[in-house]
Each structure stands twice: as structure tokens, then as C-alpha cells.
A and B are shown apart, each in its own frame.
Chain A
Amino acid sequence: MNTIPRELKLTMLKKMMLIRAFEEQAEKLFMKNLVHGTMHLSIGEEAVAVGAISALEKTDYISSTHRGHGHMIAKGGDVKKMFAEFLGKDTGYCHGRGGSMHIADASLRNLGATGIVGTGIPIATGAALALKMQRRKEVVLSFFGDGAANEGLFFESLNMATIWKLPEVFLCENNMYAMSSSVKRFIPTQNIADRAAAFGIPGVVVDGMDVIAVYNTTKTAVERARSGKGPTLIEAKTYRYKGHSKSDKNLYRTKEEIEEWKKRDPINTFKKHLLESGELTTEEINRLEESVKDEIKKGVEFAIKSPEPPIDSITKYVYVEGDEQ
């Protein structure tokens, strides 16, 4: 743990704080009726996105999910363009075509965020195949949830990545619920990571509320992938504090359960650790909070002021030929 440089730890903390602040602000905008569509918040799960992506090189790839705000921010996404996309503006990452579920920045090597559970998994595997064919050294980190672990695509893709020894890491963000369905009901074993045994690859369970643990686990898996030994299945056990989406009335779990997980909040725990180890002072935390607040404020202002996409550009991006429209 002490081998991780202080600077990196501070960056990790800041990114977690930024994700939390982004999503809290997103929810406020939603409540104010400024948002046309829905959103899926990852509040409580920040340590997974940040810990895992911090273990990558900048040049490595990720594939994201419908609950992908955290992945984008952890990969270095621009909060301004994210808010703009969230509000459907032309200045958003996807020019208002994607919305919350599809925010992605290809230039940051994000392969996209898909809205259909599990469908990003084979795409990530295909990207890893391309990297191998192109004799490149980058790896692909494939994010998916516990729900996706019950899609056939998961098993098929893990099989192909294994037989072809692809440079890929499979990271299951087990937030305990696929919409309303508890893993206890739909996963017959204690761990999703146990499924790795069927492919003869490492399957590792990690505490998804502990950013350093996620970082270390992912680092090992990334090294394995980069050295040509093939994939690792990581299961990060975490928790989504908020509902699945805006329609969720939390009828499938108790307030007590949510409160219990909040006691292990990944951001508070990490702050406490850094304070206790003397790597961070209260003053520095305050400064971090100010800077995060400022970034969020500027992001929202930018998004609100931004123009809507021109109506007559509606079919732009359907086909490559349409780009000149």
C-alpha cells in the first residue's frame, strides 16, 4: 500500500470526490426538471472505477456501461462536456445523441458505453483481439455489472479472451443488485469470480469499497494481460446507494441495508486513511473540495449556456457519409 506514491493517492481521492459531486449535481439537475432522459448513478461505487482505471496506463482502453459516469471521470473525462451531454446539448460528448447512458470520449480510449446490459463485453474482447493482431502493448479493461454476468455474452467472451490469450481484464462491478434483483437470488455461488474456474483463469474477489485494494488487484491483472497470459476475472463487491434509475422506489431492499454499506463509504474511508497516515491534511481536503465544487459549477454553467443541437442535423452520424451535413 505504501508503494503507491502520495500524488497518485491524492489524484484517486480527487477523482472519487469529483464523481460523487458530478452525480449529486446530476441528480439535482434532474430534480429541477432540466434533464430530458434518465440516468444511472454510481454513488457508492466510486472506488471501483477510480481504483481500476488508475491501474491502467493512459494509453490503455476501457469499455463502459450504462452506469458509466464514474468510468469517464476516472479516465480523465471533461466534466463540462459530460454535463452538456447530460442536458442533451450540442457541445456534449455525443452532440446530444447519447445522453447519460452513452457518454464516452473515444480520444481518451473509452470504447463506448452501451445501454443494453452485457453488450459491451464482446466489443471489449474484439478491441483486445485487435490490439493483439496489431502487435500493440495496450490492454482493455472491460467493465460490466453483476446483472451482465448472467448474460451469455459474458461466458462466450470470457471463453474467447481465454483461448486467444487476449490482453483484457474483465471487471465485474457487483453492486449487489441487477435493477431489483439481488445477486443472492440470481447468482447461485457466493462469488461471481468463481466462474473464472470454468475457464482456468484467475478469478479474484476484491473489496470494491477500498480504492487501494481495487488498484492493487487490477494492477496484477493488467500486468498478466499485458504480458500475454490472458484475462483475469475480477469481482469488485460494492454497493449502489441510489436507485437503479429514476423509476426506482427501493422496494427490494431495506434502509438499514443501505445505511450499513454507507458506513464503509469508499470516499470517507480513504480520506480517513490518508489523514491517519499523515499523507493528507484537513486543509488539503478542504482545498480539494473547493476545487471539485468549482469544477462542477463551471461544468453546469457551460452545459446550461450551451446550444441545442441544430434540428436539421438530426441524421448526422447515422452513416459516415453524413458527417458533412
Chain B
Amino acid sequence: MSIITYKEAVRQAMVEKMREDKKVFLMGEDIGVYGGAFGVSMGMLKEFGPERVLDTPMSEASFTGVGVGAAIMGMRPIVEIMFADFLTFSADQFANQAAKLRFMTGGQLKVSLVIRAPQGSGTGAAAHHSQNVEAWFFNIPGIKIVVPSNPYDAKGLLKSSIEDDNPVLFLEHKLLYNLKGEVPEEDYRVPIGKSRVARKGKDITIVATSIMVKRSLKAAEILEKEGIQAEIIDPRTLKPLDIYPIIESVKKTHRLLVVYEGCTTGGIGGEIISKVGESKAFLYLDAPLFRLGGLDTPIPYNMNLERKATPQVEDIVSKVKKIVKGDWYA
């Protein structure tokens, strides 16, 4: 085992896959000598050269499509979008082309493409550089969505994503880039579509993704002191969503809270709650099914406002207490 950061984990996954497979290459804005806006690809240009660490012009809509075209030709491109917010430019190529080309051609084409993009708020970068975008792509069939919450998952899941024959949206979190964690020395994978129990508990199931796993774990420590045992499940991938362990957990704890950073309305919480509500776990419930998402507002610049816009540790603590104590609508 070695202790590395989330950012290093992402880089290691790319570097190791690029050493192993000539078909893998990285493309995006300022990823070469600059090392990417967050330094994720720092040093990769030196090892792999400018063809495999390919700096692109500021043409997200088209270079995403270039990734699609290269993938069709048997390459395994990793397209870095500097900020997930810029995925609106890429949306057609990802949602209409990458996601559908295989289906529309009756299985003739294969789009082995990974799009990596950092998302999330907390950096004071305001509404164009802070959004959570998973919900924008959540209802597009034909793609996978991966949202790692720690270095181990980031490395293992990115390798699985690069090896996947379908288009994968790999959403990193900016505030997690410097998070440290244990990663095995040897080669390993984390499979796409498998959730993980991040903490065992009996009183409530918290489903949390990305940065919210970290915040929920902190909240659980506080709650434990007040006698509430929270079980935390990290789905790790949103598409496909590994719902079965969540259902089983709710059967045991009788309560559910979905915590996510994206805007509450139309977000992933609604879908997870629906799936649980439609399942047999419904018969075991001691409380309504709840979600705690970001406010339905663009991310503000001001630090206090920005904090308020997304769930913080204290918000999770207070929400869980209300659910467990029955103050549901207080």
C-alpha cells in the first residue's frame, strides 16, 4: 500500500494504462506542458510525447467529437474537459453521438471513449466553474457515469473506464484532488456498477456520492456521539446504478437519506428514492424517503453564499436527526 492523493491516483491510472496500451491517449486543453488546469496530467507530456498527450485548441464541441471518431477507429481516447461546466459544448457529441452511434448502427460501431471532467463547488470560482453536471447526463442511455470519492476508487475506476467499450463520463471533484488515501502497489480494478459500503450502521442509510461521501462520514462521527448509527453507501457509479445493496440496507435501517451536491430538483436523489420507494424496502420504512441536495441556485461567488448552496456536514447532521427523531416536516 502507498498513500497518494486523488489527483495522483487519476494520473497513475492514465499513466499505467498508457504504458500498457498504445491505443490509450489523453487529449484536452492545456494538458501538456501546463499539466492541466489542476495539474492532473503534470509530467505526462515528458513520458508520452505531444501525440499521446495531445493539447487541443479551445474547441470542446469538436475535440469531444474527435475523441468519438478516434474511439470508433479502435483507439481508447481520454478526453479531458477542463471544467465539467464546459460539457455543454460537448453535449451533442457525447449525448447524441457517443451515446447513440452504437445503437443507431445496430451494433456496428463501438465508442470506447472516456471523458474526464472536474466538477463541484467550493473554490470560489462562481457559477461557470462550480457546477455538478451528473444530472444533465443521468437520463441518457448508452453512457456510463462514474463519480469516485477517494483515491482508491479513482484509480481503480478510471482503469475500468478506460478498458470499457462504452462511452464513460468520469466526473472528478476539485475539492478531492488533494485528498490522500491508501492505494495498493499492485495492479487492481474497481468494477463499474458496484457500490461500496463506506460505513456500517443500523439507524439510517445515507447514500452519498463524490465529495458528499467525505462530508457524510464526518457527519456520521458526530451523529454517533448522539447515539445514531448511520450506514453510508457510496454508489461510485451512477450509470449503471447498483441499487440492490441500497435496497437491502434500507430494509435493515428503515430510513433513507440521499445526499448529493447537484441542484436538488431533477437530481440523482429523486431517482434513487424512486427506486427504493418502488422496491420491497418500502414495506420496511419507518420514515418518508428524503434527499438533501444543493439549493436550486447557480453557485454564487461569495464564500458564505457558496457554502450555503450545497450540503455541508452540519446540514447532513441536522437532516439525519430530524429523520431519525420523526421531526420529518419540521
Contact = CB atoms under 8 A, between A and B. Distances in A.
Interface of A: 63, 92-98, 102, 104-107, 111-112, 114, 116, 119, 121-131, 133-134, 152-153, 156-157, 159-160, 163, 316-321, 323
A97 B72 contact: no
Contacts of A92: 106
A104 B77 CA distance: 23
Contacts of B104: 94, 97-98, 102, 112
A96 B105 CA distance: 9
Given A105-B108, A129-B70, A121 B65 contact: yes
Contact of B59 (A102, A123, A159, A321): A159
Contacts of A102: 104-105
Given A93-B106, A106-B105, A106-B108, A153 B73 contact: no
Given A153-B61, A157-B66, 12 more contacts: A63-B69, A94-B106, A102-B105, A112-B105, A119-B97, A122-B62, A122-B64, A123-B69, A127-B72, A129-B69, A134-B73, A163-B57
Contacts of B69: 63, 111, 122-130
- Interface size class on chain B is 35 or more
Contact of A122 (B65, B71, B110, B166): B65
Q: What does DSSP make chain B's interface, helix, strand, loop or mixed?
A: helix
A95 B65 CA distance: 25
A187 B319 CA distance: 58
A156 B61 contact: yes
Contacts of A128: 69
Contacts of B63: 122, 156, 160
Contacts of B105: 93-94, 97-98, 102, 104, 106, 112, 317
Nearest to B144: A319
A198 to B, nearest CB: 14
A121 B72 CA distance: 14
A321 to B, nearest CB: 8
8 contacts: A94-B108, A97-B104, A122-B63, A126-B67, A133-B51, A153-B65, A159-B57, A317-B103
A130 B74 contact: yes
A123 B106 contact: no
B150 interface: no
A169 B177 CA distance: 42
